[in-house]
Chain A
Amino acid sequence: MLPELGQFALILALLLALVQCVLPIYGAWRGNAALIAVGRRAAAGQFVFVALAFGILTYAFVSQDFSVAYVAENSNLSLPWYYRFSAVWGAHEGSLLLWILILNVWTVAVAAFSRRLPDAFMARVLGVLGFVSLGFLLFTALTSNPFLRHLPALADGNDLNPVLQDPGLIMHPPMLYTGYVGFSVAFAFAIAALLGGEVDARWVRWSRPWTNVAWAFLTLGIALGSWWSYYVLGWGGWWFWDPVENASFMPWLVGTALIHSQAVTEKRGSFRAWTLLLAIFAFSLSLLGTFLVRSGVLTSVHAFASDPRRGVFILVFLGIVVGGSLLIYALRAPKVAGGEVFAAVSRETAILINNLLFACAAAMVLLGTLYPLIGDALNLGRISIGPPYFGFMFALLMLPVVLLIPFGPFLRWRVGDWRAALRALRPALIAAPLIALAAWMIAGGLPFKALIGVAASIWVGFGIVLYALSRWRNAPAGRRYTPEMLGMICAHFGVAVFLAGVLIVEATGVERDLRMSKGSTVEIGTLTFRFDGVGHTQGPNYSADQGTITVLRQGEIVTVLHPQKRQYPNNAPIQTVASIDPGITRDLYVALGEPLGDDGAWAVRVYVKPFVHWIWLGAIFMMLGGFVAAADRRFRVMRAPTAEIAAPPAAVAAAQT
Chain B
Amino acid sequence: MTPTRKRRLIAVALILVAVGIATVLTVLALQQNMTYLFSPSEVLAGHTPGGANFRLGGVVLEHSIKRDSTSLKVDFVVTDRFHDMPVEYTGILPDLFREGQSIVATGKMENGHFVAQQVLAKHDETYMPKEVAEAIAKAKAMKRDVPATPPQG
Chain A residues within CB distance 8 Å of chain B: 163, 234, 299, 301, 360, 364, 367-368, 371, 381-389, 392-393, 396, 513-515, 565, 571, 573-576, 593-594, 596-597, 603, 605
Q: Give Cα A400–Cα B22 distance, bound, in whole angstroms.
A: 14
A603 touches B92 (CB 8 A): yes
The yes or no answer to B71 lying at the interface (CB within 8 A) is yes
A299 touches B92 (CB 8 A): no
A163 touches B30 (CB 8 A): no
* Chain B residues with CB under 8 A of A571: 125
B123 touches A594 (CB 8 A): no
Q: Give Cα A388–Cα B35 distance, bound, in whole angstroms.
A: 12
A513 touches B67 (CB 8 A): no
A299 touches B26 (CB 8 A): no
B29 touches A381 (CB 8 A): no
A-B contacts at CB below 8 angstroms, number? 83
Contacts A386-B35, A573-B96, A603-B93 aside, 13 further interface pairs with beta carbons under 8 A come to A234-B95, A299-B122, A299-B131, A388-B29, A388-B32, A513-B91, A513-B92, A576-B95, A593-B93, A596-B67, A603-B72, A603-B92, A605-B92
What does the 1/0 interface line of B48-75 toward A look like (CB < 8 Å)? 0000000101000000000101111000
A367 nearest CB neighbor, chain B only = B26
B95 touches A384 (CB 8 A): no
CB distance from B19 to the nearest CB of A (A): 10
Q: Give Cα A140–Cα B67 distance, bound, in whole angstroms.
A: 49
Q: Give Cα A107–Cα B22 distance, bound, in whole angstroms.
A: 40
A597 touches B69 (CB 8 A): yes
* Chain A residues with CB under 8 A of B34: 371, 383-386, 389
* Chain B residues with CB under 8 A of A386: 33-35
B36 touches A392 (CB 8 A): no
Q: Give Cα A594–Cα B57 distance, bound, in whole angstroms.
A: 22
A389 touches B33 (CB 8 A): yes
The yes or no answer to B130 lying at the interface (CB within 8 A) is yes
Q: Give Cα A594–Cα B119 distance, bound, in whole angstroms.
A: 14
Residue in contact with B92 in the complex, picked from A371, A384, A385, A593, CB distance below 8 Å: A593
Residue in contact with B130 in the complex, picked from A299, A301, A575, CB distance below 8 Å: A299
Q: Give Cα A299–Cα B71 distance, bound, in whole angstroms.
A: 32
CB distance from B54 to the nearest CB of A (A): 10
Q: Give Cα A605–Cα B37 distance, bound, in whole angstroms.
A: 28
Chain B residues within CB distance 8 Å of chain A: 22, 25-26, 29-30, 32-37, 55, 57, 67, 69-72, 91-93, 95-96, 122-125, 129-131, 134-135
* Chain B residues with CB under 8 A of A382: 36-37, 55, 57, 131, 134-135
B32 touches A515 (CB 8 A): no
Can you list 28 A-B pairs, Cβ within 8 angstroms, ordered by A? A163-B123, A234-B95, A301-B123, A364-B26, A367-B30, A371-B30, A371-B34, A383-B35, A383-B37, A384-B35, A384-B36, A385-B33, A385-B34, A386-B33, A386-B35, A388-B33, A389-B32, A392-B29, A393-B29, A515-B72, A573-B95, A573-B123, A573-B125, A574-B96, A593-B72, A594-B93, A597-B69, A603-B93
B135 nearest CB neighbor, chain A only = A382
CB distance from A359 to the nearest CB of B (A): 12
Q: Give Cα A574–Cα B97 distance, bound, in whole angstroms.
A: 10
* Chain B residues with CB under 8 A of A605: 92
B37 touches A381 (CB 8 A): yes
A384 touches B30 (CB 8 A): no
A513 touches B72 (CB 8 A): yes
Q: Give Cα A571–Cα B125 distance, bound, in whole angstroms.
A: 10
Q: Give Cα A428–Cα B71 distance, bound, in whole angstroms.
A: 49
B36 touches A383 (CB 8 A): yes
Q: Give Cα A440–Cα B131 distance, bound, in whole angstroms.
A: 47
A371, A393, A571, A597, most chain B CB atoms within 10 A: A393
* Chain B residues with CB under 8 A of A603: 72, 92-93
B118 nearest CB neighbor, chain A only = A386
A515 touches B71 (CB 8 A): yes
CB distance from B8 to the nearest CB of A (A): 14
* Chain B residues with CB under 8 A of A514: 72
Known A368-B30, A515-B71, A596-B67; judge A381-B93 contact (CB<8 A): no
* Chain A residues with CB under 8 A of B35: 383-384, 386
